[in-house]
């Protein structure tokens, strides 16, 4: 007879068989945590050992006495993620009262599932463990469960509810890497996947399952599970690298995180595929058997597909793309005015170089940055303790590469609004207007804002690329500054992880529910035909920032791959 059950003890190993020596370390294959659900057949129990199938479709043997039988109705009730929650700290003590001096009831390890009875004041929550014990634990130790027992209720692993997480690729990839990094320094333990110790595939499984997605428990790509094979060149953060009997997670910049028994690490650490990196492991580089990803292969990009995707984004979204080699453009609400945030700094810096070109301004002129004139948020000047002097050239660089608001305001004071207006008029940036400085609360309260359009920003970037903004020399200088950008979490996020060098000369902008990124993307260093450059501009006001930034990263990489194929 088949039965559903949950693990009623804090922690248990899954063994390869029910034999007398099954408790030897060599028999360990996996582990379970308190409250985890399994399916087993009472006809297959041997000497008190139950042959189980886990909710992630992994089979092995545990002691039947460690299981608590439940009904299908009870298992369905346990899918209520507000009521049944996970421990997400190293471990959580359950005490008999909401007080650190309370008596110990039970300790539940990371990943264990408890039933939330109620949240109390002062940061405590009443819970019930899988063993039926009740007590109190810190509320901050609890987190909403993201994975589910759907497989045990008849849903194939490939149709798991976690597939929804793939839709926000940027966020999901970042969450996978962040979770894996949270285990840094944890000891290597054969068959483990918890905070006390984990093996290579245990680290991968834990990183994915904590983020709501179930992959195969062992170091392999297996039919019926979601990992698909990809080339090494396709690796992006969160993807997996397979070696003989070993697996690691790629985290970008040719580096990977894994749990290894290799001396001197013997635990979760970071190594590199780059021979120039001090963390390079030559032995693993030459043993790579393949790479895998849960993310689906991208379909061919068309103008219609991109416009359709953009139409589904939340808020006021604009987009512009141009390939100067063949003149192809993809435009979406390109004339729509957007509150500019820091994108407006492009046109201020352009004005600075225009005035320098005519001799009206010296780029080496020093400007005193008074401490009391500094404004908060982006940049570095706000953190200086004393007044300082900086050249106009340096202020222009800071205004772009770290989006320094104080530097921007100093430049605006120096050149004035009429000069910016004249610059925009001369070069045909008709939808752009710089109306106030950064953090001007008085004018902001009056509804006075700075505005740009995707059409204007695309033309700005195209002129920089062609060497026609101000002059060839000035365009080259602006291109260099844009290429030194330090805020690289949007357009460059996936592109900077490619094996070949990709240059992204770009400028970002951020504010509440506002996110922008616009620039030139090309292979290599020089703005030349063989570099296959293209211009891309994303503007978004009143939008879901995380979702839109994820889309920026994914679409930019897809457009880059497309440009290489042209």
* Confidence tier at 21 by pLDDT (50, 70, 90): low
Instruction: Give me Rg for the CA atoms of the chain.
Output: 28
Q: Are the beta carbons of 554 and 293 closer than 8 angstroms?
A: no
State the average pLDDT over residues 378-385.
Answer: 85
Residue 95 has pLDDT above 90, yes or no: yes
Residue 552 has pLDDT above 90, yes or no: yes
Segment 175-225, tens digit of pLDDT: 999 999 999 999 999 999 999 999 999 999 999 999 999 999 999 999 999
End-to-end CA distance of the chain: 60
Q: Are the beta carbons of 415 and 361 closer than 8 angstroms?
A: yes
- Residue, of 167 and 93, whose pLDDT is higher: 93
Query: Helix or strand or coil: residue 7?
Result: strand
Query: Helix or strand or coil: residue 552?
Result: helix
**Alpha carbons 153 and 76: distance in angstroms, whole number:** 8
Report the pLDDT value the prediction gives residue 204, as an integer from 0 to 100: 98
* DSSP E strands, 324-360: 328-332, 338-339
Give the chain's domains with CATH numbers: 1-130 (2.30.30.40), 156-293 (3.90.1720.10), 303-565 (3.40.710.10)
* Confidence tier at 485 by pLDDT (50, 70, 90): very high
Report the pLDDT value the prediction gives residue 252, as an integer from 0 to 100: 84
Segment 230-261, tens digit of pLDDT: 988 888 899 999 999 999 999 988 899 999 99
Segment 69-85, tens digit of pLDDT: 999 999 999 999 999 99
Of 219-223, 294-298, 356-360, 371-375, which gets the smallest average pLDDT?
294-298
Report the pLDDT value the prediction gives residue 170, as an integer from 0 to 100: 76
Segment 267-314, tens digit of pLDDT: 999 999 989 889 999 888 889 999 999 988 766 788 998 999 999 899
Report the pLDDT value the prediction gives residue 84, as an integer from 0 to 100: 97
Q: Which residues pair with 516 in a beta bridge?
A: 509
* Confidence tier at 386 by pLDDT (50, 70, 90): confident
Residue 263 has pLDDT above 70, yes or no: yes
Report the pLDDT value the prediction gives residue 299, as an integer from 0 to 100: 64
Report the pLDDT value the prediction gives residue 431, as an integer from 0 to 100: 97
State the average pLDDT over residues 444-472.
Answer: 96
Residue 402 has pLDDT above 90, yes or no: yes
Report the pLDDT value the prediction gives residue 372, as an integer from 0 to 100: 85
Report the pLDDT value the prediction gives residue 529, as an integer from 0 to 100: 60
Query: Helix or strand or coil: residue 409?
Result: helix
Say what percent of the chain tops pLDDT 70.
Answer: 97
Q: Are the beta carbons of 365 and 348 closer than 8 angstroms?
A: no
Q: Can the peptide bond before residue 208 be classed as cis, meaning omega within 30 degrees of 0?
A: no
Residue 23 has pLDDT above 60, yes or no: no
In whole numbers, what is the pLDDT of the chain averaged over residues?
92
pTM to 2 decimal places: 0.66
Report the pLDDT value the prediction gives residue 207, as an integer from 0 to 100: 97
Report the pLDDT value the prediction gives residue 445, as an integer from 0 to 100: 87
Report the pLDDT value the prediction gives residue 26, as an integer from 0 to 100: 63
Report the pLDDT value the prediction gives residue 20, as an integer from 0 to 100: 52
State the average pLDDT over residues 26-53.
Answer: 92
- Residue, of 501 and 347, whose pLDDT is higher: 347
């Amino acid at each position: 007879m088949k039965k559903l059950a949950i693990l009623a003890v804090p922690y248990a190993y899954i063994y390869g068989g029910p034999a007398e020596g099954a408790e030897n370390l060599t028999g360990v294959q996996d582990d379970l945590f308190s409250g985890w659900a399994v399916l087993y057949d009472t006809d297959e129990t041997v000497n008190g050992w139950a042959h189980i199938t886990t909710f992630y479709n992994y089979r092995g043997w545990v002691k039947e006495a460690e299981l608590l039988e439940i009904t299908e109705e009870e298992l369905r009730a346990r899918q209520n993620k507000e009521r049944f929650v996970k421990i997400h700290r190293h471990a959580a003590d359950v005490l008999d009262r909401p007080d650190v001096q309370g008596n110990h009831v039970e300790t539940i390890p990371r990943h264990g599932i408890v039933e939330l009875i109620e949240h109390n004041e002062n940061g405590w929550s009443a819970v019930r463990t899988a063993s039926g014990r009740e007590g109190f634990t810190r509320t901050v130790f609890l987190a909403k469960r993201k994975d589910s027992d759907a497989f045990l209720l008849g849903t194939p692993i490939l149709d798991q509810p976690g597939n929804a997480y793939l839709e926000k690729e940027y966020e999901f990839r970042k969450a996978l890497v962040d979770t894996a990094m949270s285990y840094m320094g944890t000891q290597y333990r054969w068959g483990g996947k918890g905070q006390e110790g984990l093996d290579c595939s245990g680290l991968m499984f834990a990183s994915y399952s904590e983020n709501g997605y179930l992959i195969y428990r062992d170091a392999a790509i297996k039919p019926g599970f979601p990992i698909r094979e990809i080339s090494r060149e396709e690796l992006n953060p969160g993807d997996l690298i397979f070696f003989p009997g070993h697996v690691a997670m790629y985290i970008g910049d040719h580096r990977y995180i894994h749990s290894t028994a290799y001396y001197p690490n013997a635990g979760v650490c970071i190594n590199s595929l780059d021979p120039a990196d001090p963390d390079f492991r030559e032995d693993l580089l030459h043993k790579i058997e393949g790479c895998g990803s849960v993310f689906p292969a991208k379909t061919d990009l068309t103008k219609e597909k991109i416009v359709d995707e953009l139409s589904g984004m939340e808020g006021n979204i604009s987009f512009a793309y141009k390939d100067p080699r063949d003149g192809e453009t993809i435009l979406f609400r390109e004339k729509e005015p957007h509150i500019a945030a820091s994108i407006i700094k492009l046109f201020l810096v352009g004005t600075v170089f225009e005035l320098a070109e005519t001799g009206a301004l010296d780029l080496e002129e020093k400007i005193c940055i008074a401490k009391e004139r500094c404004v908060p948020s982006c940049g570095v000047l706000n953190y200086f303790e004393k007044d300082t002097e900086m050249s106009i050239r340096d202020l222009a660089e800071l205004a772009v590469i770290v989006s320094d608001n104080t530097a921007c305001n100093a430049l605006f004071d120096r050149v004035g609004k009429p000069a910016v207006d004249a610059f925009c008029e001369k070069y045909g940036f008709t939808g752009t207007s710089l109306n106030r400085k950064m953090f001007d609360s008085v004018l902001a309260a009056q509804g006075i804002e700075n505005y740009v359009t995707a059409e204007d920003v695309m033309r700005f970037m195209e002129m920089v690329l062609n060497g026609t903004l101000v002059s060839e020399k000035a365009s080259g200088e602006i291109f260099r500054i844009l290429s030194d950008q330090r805020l690289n979490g949007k357009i460059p996020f996936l592109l900077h992880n490619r094996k070949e060098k990709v240059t992204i000369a770009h400028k970002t902008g951020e504010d509440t529910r506002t996110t922008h990124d616009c620039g030139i993307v090309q292979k290599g260093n020089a703005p030349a035909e063989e570099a296959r450059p293209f211009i891309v501009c994303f503007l978004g006001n009143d939008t879901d920032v995380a979702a839109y930034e994820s889309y920026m990263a994914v679409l930019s990489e897809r457009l880059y791959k497309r440009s290489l194929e042209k």
